[in-house]
Chain A
Amino acid sequence: MTATALQAKVHPAVEGGLLLEVADLSVQTASVTSITFTDPAGTALPGYVPGSHLVVQYGDGANAYSLTGSGRHPSEYTISVLRVDDGAGGSLAMHRLAVGDLVRVSHPRSAFAPVATARHHLLIAAGIGITPMLSHARAAAERDSEATLVYVYRPGQGAHVQEARELLGPALAECTDRGSFQEELTRRLTDQKLGTHLYVCGPAAFMDTVLARARELGWPQGRLHSEPFGAAELDQGEPFTVNLARSGVTLEVPAGVSLLEALENAGKGVPNMCRKGVCGECYLPVLRGAPLHRDLYLSEQEKSANTTMMCCVSRSLDQELELDL
């Protein structure tokens, strides 16, 4: 096992997740490698919604990657990772994995699902943005629903091109330069049947261009979908300090740990239920400081009053909060 693989400290983003084994590595292009994970015990993995992503821990960090399978009763999870030499180090760590390494991953998270009522799925991918589209295309094939894929990649740099060709046949349009893509895009945006939904994944500027062009050509917003990586989850937030006025205790709340968890860890648990900011059980009276409200329970007025907070999801705008606890 390589030193980067299994870390003793579990990253909060993969807590409660799975411990999987690297079963296969396959080089897609000079900079993209596919990594396949399986359960070391050989059991089937949880199914997932097409377009889902997996958070994979590396060292002290964790990155999200799209799963490329259809998600139906999977025996393995496969991601494809583009090596980014000047990134935070996640992709380099992924590229260093070896068969047999154990890796902590989250359960698959869905944030880019196909629309069940769509009459046709128009998939548009650039570069490594092919990964969730492959998942969509596979699911469409299994469900006998119609899909078209427009795939833009640099000559010789197309990951999964062969699979896309086999999967989609004539429903795949490949573009390797900007001019031909613009032409193809305009044609596809103007000749779709009523009820088509568009899905786009790629660099942010690419997605903006595609979405802007679609709107220009009269596509309603509800038919346009882009990959909002990780938006289904709240971010880890900044660390802050809480003073519990009545018990005279001061607690540190690190990034990635909720105030509720910090209170529980300190033996100061409060009544709670959903732990997602909707049920209203875990409210706490705030005496000083401005909470960063992230719940769905308090009204806008209540939030702006800054006298109450839901400690399962909300954090602090100020360095320190004082609570009536």
Chain B
Amino acid sequence: MSSGVIDGTAVLPERISRFPFPFPSDSYRYSTNVEPALKTVVTEAGAWGGRLLDIDEHYRHELTERDAVLTRDPTRLQVLPHMRPAVWDAISTLLPIMAAEHPDAMSFDRDGNACRWQNTLQDLDLEFTLGDDGSLPVEPLRFLGSQIQDDIALLDQREGALWLDAGLVTFAADWSFGFDVGMKFLEVHGPVPRVHQEQIITRAQQFLLRLQPGEKYRRANWTMTVDRRLDTSTETYPQWARDRATVAGDPALPDRLHLRVEVQHLIRLPHSGAVLFLVRTHLLSLSDIARVPAWRERLGRVLAELPEDMAEYKGISRYRSAASAWLLGT
């Protein structure tokens, strides 16, 4: 065990101090863990959660990666025809929020449907017309996905259910947006163990069905990923699946294995009434986690205690013991 204290008095780098460490206790089970968005959470290493749209040091790199994924595989972006208004609703909702949260880097002005968006992180100064697809350099959802690090899903509400009818998902954690598009919310979650007997997804759906326009909630989900690989979708399974089997025996495990935390925001869009799901993926290596003693111990215990069916579903069963042993120094 190399590190035990927080690097003396040195300040932790932002990737650690702003990391949304998701475990409040030493064991993890599924729950309908939604809470109001924008509440700052203080952790043992710092804090997170004060903003809806989180921009970090990986901003440009991740957006370049997203663009490359979309160019290789356009099925990661799909908008069923009735969802066009929801996409524009998402754009006119998120850009002003992003500008307000990052006033040094961005600004948004609107006069009727005429908009101006400036993003100095990308040297972008753009005028466009809300509702006019042709006024943007690329199709509207792709444009939105080129400004925020989050994956985007849009759910239509009808027949007392929610339908995954549009999205831009390039950083999926072991699922396929192209396969799921058009499904009901309950169907999308069909493969998750335990949650159906425990009525967790049904409750989540009831919650989302009642979400009122403008309301913003969030939840965190987690899994693990070998290396800083964002695109672990079903489509690229052949490229990343093998690493899961070999990493347990790799001496570089602490640097290669990452805790993957998704901060998911759930927002009822004001005009279309669609539910916007934003999925912001954060990756932090075990080496970095070990720099925070409380995290090191807690993650070690969570991994040791996690029931096998849940570990299997998360795809971590082959290396979680090795990870836990390294973290706990056993």
Residue positions of A touching B, CB distance < 8 A: 46-49, 52, 71-73, 107-110, 113, 115-117, 142-143, 222, 232, 273-276, 278-280, 296-297, 299
**A72: min CB distance to chain B, Å:** 5
Closest to B85 in A: A143
Q: Select one of B156, B159, B207 contacting A274, CB under 8 A.
A: B207
**B312: min CB distance to chain A, Å:** 25
Cβ-defined contact, A49 with B32, below 8 A: no
Cβ-defined contact, B206 with A48, below 8 A: no
CB neighbors of A among B186-231 (8 A): 199, 203-204, 206-207, 210, 212-214, 217
Question: Which of A52, A71, A222, A273: most chain B CB closer than 10 A?
Answer: A273
B321 interface residue, CB < 8 Å from A? no
Cβ-defined contact, B34 with A274, below 8 A: yes
Given contacts A116-B272, A274-B35, A280-B31, contact A109 B158 (CB under 8 A): no
Given contacts A73-B92, A116-B86, contact A46 B207 (CB under 8 A): no
Q: Select one of A73, A109, A116 contacting B112, CB under 8 A.
A: A73
Starting from the known contacts A47-B89, A49-B270, A73-B92, 19 additional A-B residue pairs (CB-CB under 8 Å) come to: A46-B214, A46-B270, A47-B213, A47-B270, A48-B271, A49-B213, A49-B273, A107-B212, A113-B157, A113-B273, A222-B159, A274-B207, A276-B210, A278-B206, A279-B33, A280-B31, A280-B32, A280-B203, A297-B32
Given contacts A110-B212, A232-B212, A297-B203, contact A273 B270 (CB under 8 A): no
Q: How far is the CA of A49 from the CA of B273 in the complex (A)?
A: 6
Q: How far is the CA of A123 from the CA of B157 in the complex (A)?
A: 19
Cβ-defined contact, B158 with A273, below 8 A: no
Which residues of B sit under 8 angstroms from A116, Cβ to Cβ? 82-83, 85-86, 156, 158, 272, 274
Closest to A117 in B: B82
Closest to B82 in A: A116
Which residues of A sit under 8 angstroms from B113, Cβ to Cβ? 73
Which residues of A sit under 8 angstroms from B274, Cβ to Cβ? 116
Q: How far is the CA of A47 from the CA of B267 in the complex (A)?
A: 14
B interface residue count range (under 10 / 10 to 19 / 20 to 34 / 35 or more): 35 or more
Given contacts A72-B271, A107-B212, A116-B158, contact A273 B206 (CB under 8 A): no
Cβ-defined contact, B33 with A273, below 8 A: yes
Cβ-defined contact, B212 with A109, below 8 A: yes
Q: List 29 A-B contacts (CB under 8 A).
A: A46-B214, A47-B92, A47-B213, A47-B270, A49-B273, A107-B212, A108-B213, A109-B213, A110-B213, A110-B268, A110-B273, A116-B82, A116-B83, A116-B272, A116-B274, A117-B158, A273-B33, A273-B34, A274-B34, A274-B207, A274-B217, A275-B36, A276-B207, A276-B210, A279-B33, A279-B34, A280-B31, A280-B203, A297-B32
Q: How far is the CA of A113 from the CA of B113 in the complex (A)?
A: 22
Cβ-defined contact, B158 with A296, below 8 A: no
**A201: min CB distance to chain B, Å:** 17
Which residues of B sit under 8 angstroms from A275, Cβ to Cβ? 36
**B216: min CB distance to chain A, Å:** 12
Question: Which of A47, A107, A143, A280: most chain B CB closer than 10 A?
Answer: A47
Cβ-defined contact, B213 with A73, below 8 A: no
Closest to A275 in B: B36
Q: Select one of B85, B204, B207, B210 contacting A232, CB under 8 A.
A: B210
Cβ-defined contact, B112 with A52, below 8 A: no
Given contacts A108-B213, A117-B158, contact A71 B203 (CB under 8 A): no
Encoded as 1 (CB less than 8 Å from any A CB) or 0, chain B from 33 to 44 comes to: 111100000000
Given contacts A116-B86, A143-B85, A280-B32, contact A49 B214 (CB under 8 A): no
Cβ-defined contact, B213 with A278, below 8 A: no
**A260: min CB distance to chain B, Å:** 14
Closest 6 CB pairs of A and B: A47-B270, A49-B273, A278-B207, A116-B82, A47-B271, A296-B206
Q: How far is the CA of A110 from the CA of B273 in the complex (A)?
A: 8
Cβ-defined contact, B204 with A299, below 8 A: no
Given contacts A273-B33, A273-B34, A278-B204, contact A71 B156 (CB under 8 A): no
Q: How far is the CA of A73 from the CA of B112 in the complex (A)?
A: 8
Which residues of B sit under 8 angstroms from A49, Cβ to Cβ? 213, 270-273
Which residues of B sit under 8 angstroms from A73, Cβ to Cβ? 92, 110, 112-113, 130, 271
Q: Select one of A107, A222, A299 contacting B199, CB under 8 A.
A: A299
Q: How far is the CA of A273 from the CA of B214 in the complex (A)?
A: 18
Q: How far is the CA of A297 from the CA of B206 in the complex (A)?
A: 10
Given contacts A71-B270, A116-B156, A273-B35, contact A52 B213 (CB under 8 A): yes
Q: How far is the CA of A278 from the CA of B208 in the complex (A)?
A: 10
Q: How far is the CA of A299 from the CA of B206 in the complex (A)?
A: 14
Q: How far is the CA of A232 from the CA of B273 in the complex (A)?
A: 13
Q: How far is the CA of A115 from the CA of B82 in the complex (A)?
A: 9
Q: How far is the CA of A115 from the CA of B199 in the complex (A)?
A: 27
Cβ-defined contact, B34 with A278, below 8 A: yes
